[in-house]
Structure 1
């Protein structure tokens, strides 16, 4: 069974290209069905899509790396050459090692961050719902979860990490002297916004507001932090009220445009605005970054902030990599064993057929009143002869070299002493 992975991430592709291949969780099931229909023999498939990466994992009797890349390029509306230049392809053990490292937080922008594990589990559930997760990928991901758990419990891989949310607060603190006088607007109500709001709330800002497309979800998050809730439609008229804006939605198009920010700055009399766009694709138009009084940071801009305390983590990284390597070797051993499953099934079926035939013969003899001991003797002799017939034939047939190979095999399988 061949396993392959194709992906782009924050180290290989710019944000706008990643945005073309961003899939919301509800899009994964139909996307996987479309992918499998486009490939030969409908391989097992799973799709992981976060703000930092989009990865496809597949398993089939024969690898189909190029067709997978062609399909993904077409789905994102780019050429296969462009995608190839910014993507990575991995097969078999390398694909498994990558999946284990991703699940363990070793391949994240924030080393050791825990959110990725939950995102992979969501992706696996979506693949199960799509009917695209077979025994091979299921086994690989379940083992990746076990490895990730061991990494987190046995090492300090995440002890010195700085989250994206903490990085946003740190950057805001560099712009504003007193965060206690800052009004903060959060756009969206997902997990990342929840984390950011938690970090900002710890600094006791002057006020916090949540703007979300679904008002009920926004109200739920706002109650948690004692924040105001507002609809997305109110943004253009109220944007000027806020000193800091943190946005992370699943929108496929920017929801904060250049014009809206320009009008907000004018009403603010050009007092500076701090903006963080954690969405992929972008929530805030890229042109906003050129405005003189706006300090806009994207997920990629935060990379330098979160990659701190590397020296403190090297021992933990080495320990985590060793755990990953052991997990990969165990998975590959399982994969190799799976290759013999059809042969094992055939052997069991043949043995059952012989056994059934001899039992049927013995029952007939017993029904005719034959001696029980004689019937049992014939039963055991019949099964033994059937099992040894093939080996005996090989020892008598063929040339000398063939007979020597058969002799070695027979000794190995039939003449081993019990230890």
Structure 2
């Protein structure tokens, strides 16, 4: 069965955060999803990797093309969604377009922040998870090794990542729009993952009045807080302490909102309606969307920050053109490797067939020699019989062919059997 590289997914270009959060898969869901995917499609899907971040959920697979029409339903069912809700936002790439998409994603060309590097680490994590689940094989291994190599080449040879405005930097700048100088503000970080760590570094550079980390695991919160001389608090204390903070940045893996409308209303009232900036970088969202309707609350989602950072992308378009040219060349190389790989079984079968013919004729020649027949005559018959056996199939095909098929065979045979008569 012929396998193609297929990609299915949705991202910040194709779907709003309200849809993306419904198919986002936390780390513990990846293994069951991979198992379910392979179980659903059996031998039609040999290999798979799932990449799920704040901005995208994508399935990369080595599979038979006919599964394409059924994957959207599987993805919807796995996430307990109606297919009609999901399908308008899904994209699908096949063969070279799927390869190009993987290269562009890893290189930061498809990111909300053009040229950002975080996605490359997330993709490597996804590949490790698929490998641990036994879902990787030769084709996807080769694809992702090439993907990581291309990403490195793009970042080395172009200025794609220079002067990029990161999501963390954007969070600081949006807070400055409200407060101006934020050195007098108190900042709360909810979560202690990579994104919060990046944000804390950017906010710490502005020297706010205080910085506090609230996290489910207190040890991780303390580890992060000590980097900027901050303090920690329990998540359970949020309802009573939220009013203390001017800026709240949240990014957890919670499947349900941590900050609801009622809690924020109470905090806003306790603050006597002083402004509060809330940055929700989580998918699924940590802060209920209705919070944004409160007069004194400035709520920014990951999509809001994305629109802000897009403003700085125009200056790097020359680098994008250069990066796309590199990617186009590497896609061609990979597709050539795939095509060469497809020929391997045919070559193997040809070799096995030829070896069987040779072994049979050699066995016959040895028996003739054992009977005492003339070695010279045996060798002549061996060579003649071997030649006839090798040429039998193509000669039959040529004799039975007609019209265009015969013309095609006549054109191919000299390439397959490039033997010339000796000229005297």
TM-score above 0.5, yes or no: yes
Q: For residues 362-381 of structure 1, what are the structure 2 equivalents within 5 Å?
A: none
2:285 aligned with 1:299: no
Partner of 1:67 in structure 2? 70
Partner of 1:33 in structure 2? 35
2:270 aligned with 1:249: no
Q: For residues 355-366 of structure 1, what are the structure 2 equivalents within 5 Å?
A: 355-360=358-363
2:163 corresponds to which of 160, 165, 169: 160
- Once the two structures are superposed, residues 105-135 of structure 1 have per-residue CA deviations (whole angstroms, 9 ceiling, x without a partner) of 1111111111111111111111222222232
- Alpha carbons of 1:346 and 1:174: their partners in 2 closer, same or farther (altered >3 Å)? same
Partner of 1:130 in structure 2? 133
Partner of 2:108 in structure 1? 105
Partner of 1:390 in structure 2? 393
- Alpha carbons of 1:274 and 1:129: their partners in 2 closer, same or farther (altered >3 Å)? same
**Equivalent-residue separation in structure 2 for 1:363 and 1:215 (angstroms):** 81
Partner of 1:202 in structure 2? 205
2:247 aligned with 1:236: no
Structure 1 window deviating more from structure 2 (43-52 vs 170-179): it is: 170-179
Q: For residues 211-230 of structure 1, what are the structure 2 equivalents within 5 Å?
A: 211-230=214-233
**1:224 Cα deviation from its structure 2 partner:** 2.0
**1:45 Cα deviation from its structure 2 partner:** 1.9
2:10 aligned with 1:8: yes
SS, match of residue 243 in structure 2: helix
Unpaired runs of 5+ in structure 2?
none
**1:372 Cα deviation from its structure 2 partner:** 8.0
Partner of 1:23 in structure 2? 25
**Equivalent-residue separation in structure 1 for 2:339 and 2:167 (angstroms):** 40
Structure 1 window deviating more from structure 2 (362-371 vs 56-65): it is: 362-371
Contact 1:183–1:206 (Cα < 8 Å) also in 2: yes
2:332 corresponds to which of 324, 329, 332: 329
TM-score using structure 1 length: 0.91
Contact 1:163–1:306 (Cα < 8 Å) also in 2: yes
SS, match of residue 300 in structure 1: helix
Partner of 1:340 in structure 2? 343
Partner of 1:95 in structure 2? 98
**Equivalent-residue separation in structure 2 for 1:299 and 1:401 (angstroms):** 60
Contact 1:29–1:127 (Cα < 8 Å) also in 2: yes
Structure 1 window deviating more from structure 2 (56-65 vs 141-150): it is: 56-65
- Alpha carbons of 1:8 and 1:370: their partners in 2 closer, same or farther (altered >3 Å)? same
TM-score using structure 2 length: 0.90
- Once the two structures are superposed, residues 180-206 of structure 1 have per-residue CA deviations (whole angstroms, 9 ceiling, x without a partner) of 222111110111001001111111111
- Alpha carbons of 1:122 and 1:371: their partners in 2 closer, same or farther (altered >3 Å)? farther
- Alpha carbons of 1:84 and 1:389: their partners in 2 closer, same or farther (altered >3 Å)? same
Contact 2:72–2:90 (Cα < 8 Å) also in 1: no
- Alpha carbons of 1:185 and 1:367: their partners in 2 closer, same or farther (altered >3 Å)? farther
Equivalent pairs, count: 417
**1:78 Cα deviation from its structure 2 partner:** 2.7
SS, match of residue 304 in structure 2: coil
Contact 1:265–1:271 (Cα < 8 Å) also in 2: yes
**Equivalent-residue separation in structure 1 for 2:288 and 2:402 (angstroms):** 77
Computed over aligned residues only, the root mean square deviation of the Cα atoms, in angstroms, reads: 2.5
- Alpha carbons of 1:374 and 1:9: their partners in 2 closer, same or farther (altered >3 Å)? same
